Structure 1
């Protein structure tokens, strides 16, 4: 499911490290300034960055990698009804389920960083809103 690309790292005089090479396609499902910055930096030249969800206003985000690397940036609010994948038109949810089925060895459980009982719903909401402090990626409820 994830093939690591060949990259080389360069340290500019000012600013964060710059990577040459990178991923063909990146899906940013977090929408924070940090995750978007990483996504733009880690996409290869002429790569594609898809922003999933509704991040809102992101202050002080450096968009220079978009034009410097000629990136395609696509936004989607929810899941697409049809996705063109390897010559087939299917829904993005169906594509996701197919990929999970084909790659059952992929450690998806590592994406779950917090687990809560239903009585702890207030803390779960805070963990999802304040992801930086909680370092949360995905949260679960035990039912």
Structure 2
């Protein structure tokens, strides 16, 4: 099944309009069961953007963002980060969440990772002023067996 992104714009009365297709991955480009989605205002324009952590084979994970357009749709996703082979197994990751971790008014992405040793670490993808992400920063850490 080909992943697609649909938008339901809000009405003034709090209900939703019918959906509109915002983006289509195209046949064979992405597989739905490899996608973890989160959303937040990554570029500070007061519109919710979309971000996807995508699980590739051989321990490779990538982060893609789709910035919101003024019509309620989304731009095509841009790959912001890609781990090296064997460096990020999606099966060891939690679901990514968005929140303003550094207080700059833009949402960041945080994700927990469980190591084979039993240790757990939180990684933070901080946003730049243009809504792009750099490499993840190591954040909170729990010793093996404590979390």
Structure 1 or 2, whichever has the larger Rg, is 1
Taking structure 1 as the reference length, the TM-score comes to 0.21
Taking structure 2 as the reference length, the TM-score comes to 0.21
Bigger proportion of residues as helix? 1
Bigger proportion of residues as strand? 2
Q: Which has the higher contact order (CA 8 A, sep 6+)?
A: 2
